[in-house]
Amino acid sequence: MVKSVLELQFEEAKTELQSLQRELEYHDDLYYNKAEPEISDWEYDQLRLRLNEIEAKFPELKKLNSSSQKVGAPVSGVLSKITHKKPMLSLENAFSTEDLENFIERVQGFLNTSENLEFCAERKIDGLSASIVYNNGYIVYAATRGDGYVGEDVTENIKTILDVPKRIDYASEIEIRGEVYMPIQSFTELNKQREENGKKLFANPRNAAAGSLRQLDAEVTKSRNLGFFAYYIDGADLNIATQIEVMGFLKKLGFSTAECRLCHSLTDLAKYCQDTLQKRPDLPYEIDGAVFKLNSLKFQERLGFVGRNPRHSIAYKFPAEEAETKVLDIAIGVGRTGKITPVAILEPVNLNGAMVSRATLHNFNEIERKQIAIGDTVKILRSGDVIPKIIAVTQKSGNEIFTMPKTCPSCGAELIQYPGLVDLYCPNHYGCPEQAVRYISYFVSKSCLDIPGLGEKQVEEFFAEGRIKTALDIFKLKEKEIDAPLASKPGWGKVSAQKLYDAIEMRRNVSLERFVVSLGIPGVGEVIAQLLADRFKNIGSLQKAEKADLVELDGLGDLMAEEIYEFFRNDINIRFIDEFKKLVAISYQEKIIDSNSAFYGKIIVFTGTLSRLSRNEAKQIVISKGASVASAISGKTDIVVVGENPGSKLHKATELGVQIMREEEFIQDIQR
C-alpha cells in the first residue's frame, strides 16, 4: 500500500524521490528521444504529481532533483520570465564585401595588429535564438531571447525538440545558446494542415518556429517538429581556445551544429558568402545570411561591445531575393468554403536557384493597390516567405488593370462580400463544382477521413468523369464499377483499384472527432472537434446542442458557437449527415474507464492560478476522467476548482450553490 505523501518521513521521501526521478528520466527518454512511450500520459502525470508533492512537503529535497523540471508550462496564461545570466545580444549587419572589409580592419585596429586573423564562418539560421542551461547534465531551464535581458521560460517546450539532448556528459553548470528553427518541410506541412482546418497561415518558417516554441502547452511544440542548431557555450571551464573548437565540443555533447568553416582573409569570407548563397536553395531549413566570428575566444573577450553588439562578430545578410518577370495570367481559385483567391501565373523565373511560376495576390484589394494587369512586367520578392509576392509593376503592358469577376469562375454564381471581410466568396456552397472538388479533397485528406490513394488529382478526375458528385459518393465508388471500371482507367489497374476500395472499406467506421473535422465547419479543426466530441459524445446530441451549450464550452467563442449551431440547422447539412450515417458508422471512444471518479460526466470550471500544475494539465486530467471543462459558470456547472487569486467566478459559484473544490482537494481527488 502506497503511503500518502503526508505520512512520508524524510528518508523514505528521499528514496522515493530518487526512484521517481529515475523513472521519469526513463520515460522522458522514451517519449522525447525515442517517441515510444510505454505508459499513458495520465500515468506519467501521476508520477510527476507525486514527485511535486514530495518536493512540496520536503523542499530541502528539491536540490537533489537535478532534472528539477517544473510541471508543464506556467500557469498564468503567459509564459513566465527568466533573466539571462549574460545578456543575449545581437549582431551588427553587413550587406556588402566592403562592410566585411571594414569589419576586419576594425577588429585588426582594436587588437593593434596587421596580422591575418582567423574567423569562424557559420550559416545564419533564420529562426529565433534560445538559451538552455544545464546542470549535472540535465536541462535546468531554457529561455527565449526576449528583450536580450529577460526572456520567456520555454523549458518544457525546448525539451520536446529532438535536436536538444536531454542529458549531456558535462557535470557543472553550462549554458548553450543556439537557434530554434522550423525545417521547411515541417513548415509546408503545418501550413497545409492549418489551411485545411481554416486557421491563419504562418508567413514564414521563422514566425512558425517562434509561434511553436512559445506555447503554453509543450505538446503543441512537440507536434511542430522544430530543430535546434547550437553555436555558443558559456559558463564552462573548458580549456577551449577558439569558436571552431566550441562547435566541435557542442557536437561532442550531442548537439546539432550547422556547417562552419575557418577563414583567414576577406577573400575567404566573401567566398563563404557566395558558396552559402549557392547552397541555400538545397538546404532543408531557411538561412538569411552568414555569421563571421573572430575565432580566438581570448581576442573576442578583448574586443568588448559597442552598444548591444559584440565587436568580434558580424552578420552578413543576403540580399532579398528579387527577380523580374511577366504576369501571364491571373487565375481565380475557389476554396472549399467558397473563398476566392487570385494567383498570378508568371513566366517562370529563377529566384536564387528555385524556379518560380506563381505568386500570391491574397485578394483583389491588393491587385488594385498595385495596379496589376495581365502582361505587365513585375518585380517579385521572396524574403523569408516561401511563396513569393509581387512587390511592384515595373513595366506596364497597357492592358487594363485586372478587375474582380462578378461571378464564380466555376459555377457562375454571383460572388458576394460578407460584411467586414475583404475576400470575395462564391455563395453556392452546395452546387459549385470547384467548391465540391475542394471539399471532397478535404473530406478524404489525412486529418479527415484519411483515405490513402485519394488526393486532389484523383478527386478532380473522378469528379470530372461523374464518378463522384458529393463526398458521400466516395463510399459508393465500387457500385459505379459496373458502368466504368476504375481498373481500366489510364493510370489505374486492378491492383491499385482494389487497394483504393480496401482503403475505403477500412473507413466504414469513423471516430466522431474525425467526422466533425471532415464536416468542414469554418474554424473547426482537430482541437475543437475533439472538444465537441468529448462533450456531446454522439453526433445526434451535437446536432441538437443549443447555442448556450456550445458557448459554455471552454475554447469556443460566441462566433464559433453561432457558426456551429447554424451549421447543424442547415437542411443540406442535416441531409448530408443522415446519408453519411447510412454509409459509415460514427463512433465515440470513451477514454474513461473509471466511472467512479469524482469528475466523471461532470462539467468543471477552473478559476484562479493553480500552483502544482498548469491549467492545461489540470484540464487534460479531468477530461481524461470523463469531465468536460467550461469557461463560464452557469446552472449546469457541477464543480468549480479554485486556485490562488480566483476571479469573480468564485463569487458566482457561491451564489449558484455550485460545488467548490480547493486545489489541495482537487489534487487528492485526481490521484484517487
Residues that are catalytic? 124
The smaller minimum CB distance to ligand IVH, of residues 291 and 622, is found at 291
Least Cβ distance, residue 84 to ligand IVH (angstroms):
12
**DSSP track, 153-167:** B-HHHHTT-TTS-SB
Distance CA 445, CA 474 (A): 12
Report 580-639 residues binding ligand IVH (CB under 6 A).
none
CB contact at 8 A, 133 and 175: yes
Across the strands, what pairs with 327? 346
Nearer to ligand IVH, 206 or 429 (CB): 206
Give dist(CA 567, CA 196) in Å, integer.
Answer: 18
State yes or no: residue 125 binds ligand IVH (CB under 6 A). yes
Least CB distance to ligand IVH at residue 144 (A):
10
Binding mask 456-485 for ligand IVH (x = CB under 6 A): ------------------------------
Binding mask 79-118 for ligand IVH (x = CB under 6 A): ----------xxx---------------------------
Distance CA 258, CA 245 (A): 14
CB nearer ligand IVH, residue 48 or residue 214: 214
Helix (H) / strand (E) containing 508: none
Please name which of 258, 321, 3 lies closest in space to residue 120, comparing C-alpha atoms: 258
Nearest to ligand IVH by Cβ — which residue?
129
- Give the closest residue to 235 by CA, choosing from 291, 152, 190, 170: 170
The H or E element that residue 234 is part of is: strand 227-234
Please say which residue, 65 or 242, places its beta carbon nearer to ligand IVH.
242
Give the nearest distance from C-beta 274 to ligand IVH in angstroms. Answer: 18
Give Rg (Cα) of the chain. Answer: 29
CB of 311 to ligand IVH, least distance (A): 11
| DSSP per position, 184-230 | HHHHHHHHHHHHHTTPPPPSSHHHHHHHHHS-SSHHHHHHT--EEEE
Nearer to ligand IVH, 124 or 382 (CB): 124
Which of 291, 356, 533, 610 forms a contact with ligand IVH (CB under 6 A)? Answer: 291
| Sheet of 313-317, strands arranged across | 92-94, 313-317, 287-294, 119-125, 260-263
- Kindly tell me which of 129 and 616 has the beta carbon lying closer to ligand IVH: 129
CA atoms within 13 A on the CB side of 560: 21
Binding to ligand IVH by CB under 6 A, coded x per residue (else -) over 508-547, reads ----------------------------------------
Closer to ligand IVH by Cβ: residue 232 or 588: 232
Within 157-196, the residues that bind ligand IVH by CB under 6 A are 179
Among 165, 205, 310, 608, binds ligand IVH (CB under 6 A): 310
**With binding defined as CB under 6 A, does residue 124 bind ligand IVH?**
yes
Is residue 231 a contact residue for ligand IVH (CB under 6 A)?
yes
Instruction: Pull the grid cell for residue 559.
Output: 462566433
β-bridge pairing 603-607 and 639-642: parallel
Compute CA 105 distance to the chain's CA centroid, rounded to the nearest angstrom.
Answer: 43
**Site string (311-330) toward ligand IVH, x via CB under 6 A:** ----x---------------
Q: How many residues bind ligand IVH (CB under 6 A)?
A: 12
| Binding span for ligand IVH by CB under 6 A among 6-14, 105-113, 122-130, 150-158 | 122-130
For 193, other C-beta atoms within 10 Å of its C-beta total: 16
Shortest distance (Å) from residue 74 CB to ligand IVH: 23
Instruction: Tell me how far apart the alpha carbons of residues 377 and 397 are, in angstroms, rounded to a whole number.
Output: 7
Residues lying near ligand IVH in the complex (CB under 6 A) are found at: 89-91, 122, 124-125, 129, 179, 231, 291, 310, 315
